Structure 1
């Protein structure tokens, strides 16, 4: 008979084993599970629900709400997230998944949440959303549970084997430098400004990624900054998320400066630096395929490798 309970100390290995049996396209190590889940400042065992058959874990769902704001004092009190769920193949379509999901929804509802998202949780998201191609059963399950598709970000990759910078972009960079722009690797004096710029112009998760990346040993030469005179107008980094050197981003140019080709220059300089370190590829998990950034990536040789659906349920 199936029983249900919260996560308890000592469950970690069994959870990771079931994860790797269930989410074949997205395996995880014990270290990553510890860092992304157990050490998350918002982790609460009451949101981590497990299904047990005898002494075996056969299902899992993780629900989380903010206990620590991303920026300022905003705890997003109406929002909750489900970053992942999975059920052993032998127990699918048996009601286990439904029971786990309902328990997760009840947990978030009891905490006053009105909106539940799969899986656009920051800072420690595993994937941006559900990959319908890889997990068609999971996508159908979310739809059956009352989740609705909000938008569909894409992951993109680019091989750096044989990468050569574009002469046209190199010429553009020279013209912009003659106009008073500068492009350089970051120094200590840039860090506060870059983090503030990322937080205020884009997303607090971007500023967090820079700050925590440097604290965890991210070399400053993996952070590039663009200035118009003394004003910071753009940045990009690589190796900031989980210390993975070929993971590109975040990357942004001030809205007032977009259209001047600064994004092309920063992106090309970044790829050139990545190749000079001997990296064979660059990839990231999340952009809008039809956004200006998405078009820039495609023009620079990136290709869509996965598509995700961010899902939402109102409770």
Structure 2
């Protein structure tokens, strides 16, 4: 029987998650983290959240979210997760929970169902072959998971592959080639340093040059609040960024992204920004960095040259409803 969410299911879902979802690398849940990720999230809706119950026992959990103010929110519903007990991991049971989510999206007049990094319900996962180092968000469905195969069979199209990459910062050194690039950029009038509102201007204009609402929000807020951000400036005008520079409690260097305004490409600023960011993290005692990037993103070469390695792959998927 498929039922919509009730708080009484909380501990049973946590127990299910800690037995099954962890097999796909997701971090264990506590009551506190479950509440933070799901129930207290402003986009959590009990009508978008379902459980599978048989013989009085919870055997499955599915959660999605919607919001007209989200990227694509006017037309898309987001699938956050579908988790089933081992003996229930069949196409039939996966499909029952998947259809519950899709039908709810249709009721809300959504035209598509997405598994996408814009989902505001962020699921942390452990980086393989590390001392429980973790990444703060899964940008899609793990390609080595049962759910990935089910989504393909149910008509979902893989729109992109996201590569999750990792670097132990004790191994990081700024390449000599980057030092030379920085000197050349300086000759051309570009300087890469931490943002200083008394010296630099044009953050909002620079961010509008990217089709990324998350960058506009996060980098804009960071610079307004005094959170360090590495920037590239031309005659005091900000033309690129990397950051923000935040060491999380778990020792990870938080990374929102890197970008250079199209009008100022061709000066090697992207790689300079990124290596300066890694250096800033290492200098403040950060243990490691992790990030994800599209498999076709040219920036992947910058990350690899810094020593990053791909540790997991996620799929961005969509189905028209």
Normalising by structure 2, we get a TM-score of 0.84
Gaps of 5+ in 1: none
Gaps of 5+ in 2: 124-137
Whole-angstrom CA distance in 2 between matches of 1:281 and 1:234: 23
Cα offset for 1:175?
2.5
Cα pair distance change 1:207/1:277, threshold 3 Å = same
The answer (yes or no) to whether the contact 1:84–1:119 under 8 Å persists in 2 is no
Report the counterpart of residue 27 of structure 1 in structure 2: 27
Alignment of 1:93-242 (within 5 A): 93=90, 95-126=92-123, 127-133=138-144, 135=145, 137-187=146-196, 193-194=202-203, 197-198=206-207, 200-210=209-219, 220-221=227-228, 223-238=229-244
Equivalent residues, number: 303
Cα offset for 1:254?
0.9
SS of the aligned residue for 2:263 comes to helix
Whole-angstrom CA distance in 1 between matches of 2:108 and 2:289: 40
SS of the aligned residue for 1:85 comes to strand
Report the counterpart of residue 274 of structure 2 in structure 1: 267
Aligned-residue Cα RMSD (Å) equals: 2.8
Cα offset for 1:288?
1.6
Q: Does 1:311 align with 2:311?
A: no
Whole-angstrom CA distance in 2 between matches of 1:257 and 1:84: 40
Whole-angstrom CA distance in 2 between matches of 1:255 and 1:229: 17
SS of the aligned residue for 1:201 comes to coil
Match of 1:301 among 290, 299, 307: 307
Report the counterpart of residue 280 of structure 1 in structure 2: 287
Cα offset for 1:192?
9.0
SS of the aligned residue for 1:161 comes to helix
Cα pair distance change 1:108/1:234, threshold 3 Å = same
Cα offset for 1:87?
0.6
Report the counterpart of residue 128 of structure 2 in structure 1: none
Cα pair distance change 1:35/1:243, threshold 3 Å = farther
Report the counterpart of residue 57 of structure 2 in structure 1: 56
Whole-angstrom CA distance in 2 between matches of 1:192 and 1:58: 54
The answer (yes or no) to whether the contact 2:162–2:294 under 8 Å persists in 1 is yes
SS of the aligned residue for 2:141 comes to coil
Whole-angstrom CA distance in 2 between matches of 1:68 and 1:307: 28
The answer (yes or no) to whether the contact 1:183–1:227 under 8 Å persists in 2 is yes
Q: Which moves more between the two structures, 295-304 or 28-37?
A: 28-37
Report the counterpart of residue 79 of structure 1 in structure 2: 76
Question: Residue by residue, what CA displacement relative to the aligned partner does 1:18-38 show, whole Å, maximum 9, x if unpaired?
Answer: 122111211243344333322
